[in-house]
Structure formats: C-alpha cells, structure tokens
Structure 1
Amino acid sequence: MALINSIVSWFNTKRLSEIDFTKEHPIDTQHEVLTKLLSHAKNTEWGQKYDFQSINTLSDFKKRLPVQTYEDIEPYVDRLRKGEQNILWPSEIKWFAKSSGTTNSKSKFIPVSKEAMEDCHFRGGKDILTLYTSLFPDTGLLKGKGLTLGGSHQINNLSNESYYGDLSAILIQNLPFWADFIRTPDSSIVLLEEWEEKLDKMTQATLNENVTSLSGVPSWYLVLLKHVLKVSGKQNIHEIWPNLELFVHGGVCFDPYRNQFNSLLLPEKMNYMETYNASEGFFGIQNDLNDKSMLLMLDYGIYYEFIPLENVNDENPRVLSLEEVELYTNYAIIITTNAGLWRYQIGDTVQFTSLKPYKFKISGRTKLFINAFGEEIIIDNAEKAMQMACNKTNAILKDYMAAPIFMDDNRKGAHQWLIEFEKAPASIDEFNYLLDNALMSQNSDYEAKRYKNITLDKPIITIARPGLFYDWLKKKGKLGGQNKVPRLANNRDLIDEVLSMNQI
C-alpha cells in the first residue's frame, strides 16, 4: 500500500504544482484558456459567424458574443444531434448530456466533446484523487474500489450515430479500460435504465467487494445504502465495507442529509468531499474538508463570467470577469467551454467566499427561488434555515419543496413547505417557528415582509407521506442518476402536482 501511495504521490506532485500555479495566477490562467478556445474554434460555423479570428481583447469578446441561454443555442444543438459537425466546436460531437431538470417537461441536450470529457470531466475526477491524497497521504483509498451511481444512456432518436443520457452514464461509457479495475460494479449494471432493477443488481454485485469510496448524489445514495443494509441484514454500512472512507458528493446541498449518513455510516471513519460537476462542465472541488467552499478549477478549458443576480433578467445584463467579482454576492454563472458553449448561462448561482484563491459555494438556481412578495428566498437561504430548524428539534430531513400561497380577499400571502421527514420533530409548530426565524435571520427581505405579518403570514408546513417524492420522481421517469427534487418554485405548478399524490 505504501508503494502504491508513493507512486500516486509522485504523479500528483506535478499536478499539484499546476493547481498551485492557477491559484497564484488565476486571471492569466483564464485569459490563456479563452485565447485557446477562440483559436481552436475560429473555423467553426460559430467562429466564422462572430469572426473569432479578429477578437484580440477581452473587450472584443464581450462586445462580439452575446450571452446565451439553451433556447438560443437549441437550433444549433438540434443540428448537431442530427449529425452535422463543426458548428459550435471543431471536434466531433456525438454525445449529449440530457438535462435532469424537473422544472420543464422539455429536456436539454448539452453537447459533450472529446476535449470536455478528457480535459474537464476526467481531469476533475483525477484532481479529486490528487487533492484528497494530498490531504491524507496514508489513505487506503486505492486499496479497494470506488462505487459510482450512474445514470443510463441510449441511441439518439434523431441519428443512430449519436447518443444521449445522464452525464454520469456518458463518462462511465467513455472511461479508459483500466478504470474497470478500480471501480464497481461493472458498466453493464451501472448503466441499466430501470432504477429498481439497478438497485438490486448493484447491491448483489458489491456486497462482497472492498468498497473504499462512493461518488454521486446524496439522496440516491441514501436509497442504495438502505437497500444494501436491508439485503445484508447488517446495522451499519461499515460492517459490509469496513474500509470505506470517502464520499464524493454533489448535485444537492449535503447538510440536510448529513445526519442520515451519520446514522448509516461510522462518522469517525468517513470523509465527505463536495464537487461541482454539471452536464456543462466540471467547475469546483472542495480542497479543504474543514471549509465547505470549493476551489474554482481554472484550467479545465472553461472560461468564466458572472452576472450579478439582480441583473440576470436585464435586457443587457452587466457581465463581470473573474477579477471583477466580490465576496458574498450572488452571481449567475456564464461559461465558455471546450464543448462549444459560448457565453452560456447555465442557470446556477454562486457566492465567492475567497478571492485568493477563488473559492465559492453554490447558492441556488436562477429559476429556483421564491419571490412572489419581494422576499427573494434562494436555495442557500432555504437549506440553511431548514438545517437550523432540524438541528434544534433533532429532526432528520428526507426531502422538501416550497412554493408561495398567493394572497386573496380572505388571506395573506405565505409560503407552503411540503416536507418529508426521516425523523419528524416532536412539535411541528416549534419546527415552523424555528424555520421562520431562521429564514428571517438569513434574508432581510423576507424579514421585512414578515414584519408584524403585514405582507407575509407565517409559513404553512404540510407533512409529506413516506415515499412521496420518490413516487413523484418515479411517475416522471426520473429515478436515480442526477435527478433531484426542485426545492423552490415561484408558482404552485410543481407543489400542487406533488400534493395531489400525498394521500396516505
């Protein structure tokens, strides 16, 4: 084991020095990334349309190329899916990451190039190992195998030469052959489309493996781990996988799930490492496990820009370069990537917690918020408030969704919180009081609207029956993979749909 770790350490030394360079010279690194992207794509249809050849300055780039949404690029993506090439990016595009969003029935298909896989997503996976082993030089991680919960993929119905599916499935399908020696189970099981069949087969295939790490979305791992315990008859996961030490997680805030993981695993044996890996790219890794922020990865072939959240819906929004951002301000992320996404708004919002180096936390989604009365509740507010209320009442959260109740002649406005508990609080009234006060402490706009109940009445909590959100996701064909429950909505469409299934 010491020999393996020494070899890994030798390979990691060079990469750690490269990461350190990006931390010391972030702006130079980003300018170099942008220059390479423009040069590489100058002869594409997009490059000729915007004359990449004549873009010589950052100002030229910002003036020349508009900020894009998926709706703006969808016609070009449709052409790519039908087999056309050299439109947005010069190398062949045959893989498309299907959006796992639950807010629209219409899916997005994000192009994934060879460069995006190798220089972004796979590099991110390698850097997780690099950073983790630098923190824990004596780790036994490489002594066993990593368990990955992936999605599925299928042949594109527009062209039999291209494919789409969850990003995780695309990456698993394209991993080098040697990756099979360090992960479990094999891809024939991991890529199964039917979630409940996959759950059974993954459990049987991994019970006798030496699993040392897990990676995926926390909510679905809870389902898997509970199933593994049920089948094995054990009380704790470490009775099955005694050398398990790391969970690499992302997709949703981990804090609401922490107590559940602590009940299934031995906390003193586990390390938790957050990453930010989306269909559009790999953006961040937690490089200090005592700091919940993530390091912005600057040399993955992605150029970053940011729009202050209050300007997102402006006709000509103010777009900032990395050197212009400020601490603890909500920004919508704009990316230019090595898969041909040019000044693309991905829909996530972040706050920077450090500028030397650039570290951040995910604060929400540009379309997932509640602002029906000017209260501007974002996901970061909701997650923190929910965690505060759970901690003070010893409750354990499973899932939730919140939406406004609109005022009418007979009532004031309010927020309805549909909550499924793993362990319910002794008093829902106390939980509601704590949630309300925690939201006020997190958000001054909410506090102002709650003042003396003039605009907003206290929250209304509705208890979800066991398995409600699982059943809703199943009905929508969104079990497993990267799918997740949307936490907040500014209308009642989703919550009313879920409530219609809440009969016990």
Structure 2
Amino acid sequence: MSIKSIAAKLFAQKIYKKTQLWANNPIETQKKVLRKLIKDAEQTQFGIDHHFDQIKNEKDFAKQVPVRDYEALKPYVDKVVKGEENILWKGKPLYFAKTSGTTSGAKYIPLTKESMPYHIEAARNAILHYIHETGKADFVDGKMIFLQGSPILEEKNGVKLGRLSGIVAHFVPKYLQKNRMPSWETNCIEDWETKVNAIVEETFNENMAVISGIPSWVQMYFEKLHQKGGKPVGEIFKNFNLFIYGGVNYEPYRAKFENLIGRKVDSIELFPASEGFFAYQDSQKEKGMLLLLNSGIFYEFKKSDEFYTDNPKRYTIGEVELGVNYVLIISTNAGLWGYNIGDTVQFTSLKPYRIIVSGRIKHYISAFGEHVIGKEVESALQEAIIGTNIRINEFTVAPQITPAEGLPYHQWFIEFENEPEDSVSFAEALDNAMRKQNMYYDDLIVGKVLRKVVISKVVKNGFQDYMKSIGKLGGQNKIPRLSNDRNIVDLLKSK
C-alpha cells in the first residue's frame, strides 16, 4: 500500500466523522444555514426587497420569498450579469455557469466565493466516503479521467463564464494534477466527437483507475476504446474499478456498461448542478444519495402532485416523508432564493436524509391525466429486461394522442444494442411493468382509454445524431426520458 493511499484512508476517516456531525443533527443544521444566508444577504437588493431583516424562521422566509424559476428571477439575474453589485448576493459573483435556457435563451447561474468550494468538496467527499466504507484506496495511485466541458472561459462585464464542468476544471487539487486526465489541451477541444477521439488516443496506454462522466457520453468513450483495442475496456484498463457518474440514472446503462467493460465495477452517483452540489452516494450498501444539508443551501420541497395547484405547501427537511415525489426548491450562498431547479426527488431514508432523483417537473407524460415521471419509466424498463440479453443504449417516451387508427398510446423510442428476440413479448413485459409503476396508467389501460405501449426502434447512434443536430452533443447535455409532446421524437430516425 502506497503512502498516498494510506493518507487517503486517514483523510477519509476524518471527513466521515465530520459529515456525521451535521447528518445526525439535520434540522438544526438547516436552521443554521438559513440564518446565515439571511444575515449575509440582508443588505442586498433582493434582501431589502423581501424584508430579510424581518425573517426569523422558515415560516417567515416562506411568506417573504416566493418560489421562482429562472424566468421569474431573471430581472435580478440580468442586473448581476450587467455588472451591478449586491443584487442577489453580496458583491459580484466569481463566475457565471452558462447553461441552456428554455424561453429566454442562455441562463447565467452565479457562482460565488462562498458557493464554489462546496462544488469541489462534495465531489471529493463522495470519493472519501467510498474509501472509508470499502477500504479501497489503491485507485488513488492510478490515472483518473473526468469527461467534462471545455475549461476555456469567456468574460462578461468583469465576471468569467463557462460551463460548470469547465469552471470546476480550474479547481482540481494539486495532489490530483499528475493523475488527472485528459491533458489541458485535449480538454479544451470544443467539438465533442473530436474531443472523445483525442481522449481515446491519450488514455489508451495509461493506467486508468477512475472514470467519471454522464453515462451516455462515457458510453461513447468506451465504444471508441473497444473499437480501437478490440477487447473489453476492463482488459484495456486492468485497474479500472470505479465509475463516478451523475446527471442521469445509471441503471438503464448498467448492462451495456458491464458488457463494454467485461466485468462489474463499483460506482458512485453524484447530484451536481450549476445551481449547487446537492447530494452524493455515501454508501455502497444503502439506496440513495446523502442530501448535503451543511453546504450553504437551504432546502424546501413541494409535493409534485400539488405543484400546479394554488399555493401548495412548502415543506422543510423535518416535514418530508419517504417515497413522496417532491419538487426541489433551493436557497443558496450564490444568491438563488426560493429557486425551483426543476428536478424532482424522493427520500429513501430519513436517518440520514438520502434521496434519489425521480425526474423533472417539466418532463412527464400526462396527456390523459396519468402523470408518468422519469423514475417510473426507468424502473419499468429495468424490470422488463431483467433475465434477458436485451441491452439498451438510449431511450425516450412520448404520447401518441392522435394515431392513424386505434386507441392512443405511449410510444417508446429505444436504441437497442441487443434487440429482444420476441418484440411482442418484450412490449407486453414493458407495459405490465409500467402498469405496476403507475396506477393511473393502469386504470387507462383497463378502461381502454389507452392501448398498450408501442415500441419504435431508433437507428444506431440515432440519439447522438439528434443531439448533434440541436447543438447539444456531449458535455452535460442529456436526453429527456419523457415529454408530454412529440417535439423530440419527431426528429428521431426510426428503423
């Protein structure tokens, strides 16, 4: 065992103990976070406008600060982007994380000197918790790759801006610099396909031990490695034993990954976003990710089935329940207040508080009142392929409301790696699994409002071609699992 791995184990023990202090005292931890946020922003324009000086507790906060999405908060953000100070948070932000918007073009998410360290520490602590629980630390001596956006930054009114993953690349600790790949030059390549090809060439003969990125884009990297080497990734990288991912559920990709790798590897799930780093998988034995209650973020939750009703209740951490689908609302030390990030979560544990990401509040199918969410389609697909040799590269689901004939249906667009031997039986299994996941969908099938699912096979690389056509190939971009219209699926090439 190397000195580096021994040091990693000692550091992991220290961080684990530190985490337990706040994880075992969650309600008071969140109260302290809110008090500090209010105090630090009391003299900002937002704080003055919302009478922060009168806020004494969570109920006062909920009364004074309405829930907003980016569009509603944009008048304040625009002032920050113009270079004005003390608007949402004291002073000016260090960076803007630039992301794709919906109705107003690009979104500029502020990152401050107070918020930025948590983005770095959370990813580090996830690995340290893994080391503490498993005792595995040899990988710290190998190479690590992080598939991410370009670190080249622009500047807007004195504030640097870029993709979050590119900004984070500037904060890689010195002790990881020698181990980290790809090279700075390769990481700066903007075109995703060119970049992945360069990464393959650069890493092929290296001792890769940790690989990290969004599963769909890591899959592309693995496929190119396999094409170059003619053997599984696990044979090319004999010491590769840890995969770190975030952004999407890994389960639909797991069978394909294990086939590409040639064996099973441990994995750690992260829940990062431009708006904050919210959770990470702290245990290989327990389901869900530890919600980070001591990271400069105050959390509130709205039940997703109440979200579009008048004045739905805002729940704090001490009021949430297991298994309920909640819309995640955050207030942060980057100046986002009562901010709806669009993600929905469910709690898998209340001691400590662990969550899974269940979908997006805007990504659902409810053309007939069924309100199917991302977690349900992913779980149904996983159940349908258990015990088969079916492997799936990517998928999305959309309603077909006006078919040429027959009843309406949910249409699944799937890019198969290994197709089912019996398509009819697979469709039947998938439909049965969906009926178990969503009782409203089951009622619609029983009541003959809908017919059973229809599967459309997408051509190889069809999803990649679609993402390329809309300028979102690679990086942090993801295919929505489902949508309530056909805007995406109408552009996919089916067999």
- Shorter-chain TM-score: which interval? over 0.9
Write the mapping of 1:360-379 to structure 2, written as runs, cut at 5 A. Answer: 360-379=355-374
Deviations along 1:26-51, one digit per CA (max 9) or x if unpaired, are 00111111111111111211112122
How many residues get paired?
495
Q: What's the CA shift for 1:104?
A: 6.4
The corresponding residue for 2:400 is 405
SS in 2 for 1:472: helix
* Contact 2:330 2:341 (8 Å CA) reproduced: yes
* Contact 1:403 1:489 (8 Å CA) reproduced: yes
The corresponding residue for 2:441 is 446
The corresponding residue for 1:44 is 44
The corresponding residue for 2:98 is 98
Residue 171 of structure 1 pairs with residue 168 of structure 2: yes
Q: What is the aligned counterpart of 2:452 among 439, 451, 458? A: 458
Write the mapping of 1:8-407 to structure 2, written as runs, cut at 5 A. Answer: 8-100=8-100, 106-118=105-117, 120-152=118-150, 156=154, 159=156, 161-231=158-228, 233-268=229-264, 270-407=265-402
- Residue identity opposite 1:148 in structure 2: F
* Contact 1:295 1:359 (8 Å CA) reproduced: yes
* Contact 1:393 1:426 (8 Å CA) reproduced: no
Deviations along 1:64-118, one digit per CA (max 9) or x if unpaired, are 11111111111222222222222111143142223357x7683322212222220
- Residue identity opposite 1:130 in structure 2: L
The corresponding residue for 2:479 is 485
| CA distance, structure 1, for counterparts of residue 146 and residue 103 of structure 2 | 27
- Residue identity opposite 1:430 in structure 2: S
Q: What is the aligned counterpart of 1:470 among 451, 456, 464? A: 464
Deviations along 1:296-354, one digit per CA (max 9) or x if unpaired, are 11111111110001111123221100100011000000001111111101111111111
* Contact 2:44 2:87 (8 Å CA) reproduced: yes
Q: What's the CA shift for 1:240?
A: 2.2
Q: What's the CA shift for 1:153?
A: 5.5
* Contact 1:140 1:243 (8 Å CA) reproduced: no
SS in 2 for 1:400: strand
Deviating above 6 A after TM superposition, structure 1's stretches of 4 or more consecutive aligned residues are: none
- Unaligned 5+ residue runs, structure 1? none
- Residue identity opposite 2:196 in structure 1: L
TM norm structure 2: 0.95
| CA distance, structure 2, for counterparts of residue 244 and residue 486 of structure 1 | 29
SS in 2 for 1:68: coil
* Contact 2:120 2:171 (8 Å CA) reproduced: no
Q: 1:481 to 1:105 in 2, by over 3 A?
A: farther
| CA distance, structure 2, for counterparts of residue 343 and residue 179 of structure 1 | 36
| CA distance, structure 2, for counterparts of residue 286 and residue 409 of structure 1 | 46
SS in 2 for 1:134: helix
TM norm structure 1: 0.94
- Residue identity opposite 2:319 in structure 1: E
| CA distance, structure 1, for counterparts of residue 404 and residue 8 of structure 2 | 68
| CA distance, structure 2, for counterparts of residue 31 and residue 114 of structure 1 | 22
- Unaligned 5+ residue runs, structure 2? none
**Which stretch of structure 1 is more off in the superposition, 425-434 or 74-83?**
74-83
Taking every aligned residue pair, what percent have the same amino acid on both sides? 39
Q: What's the CA shift for 1:177?
A: 4.5
| CA distance, structure 1, for counterparts of residue 34 and residue 199 of structure 2 | 42
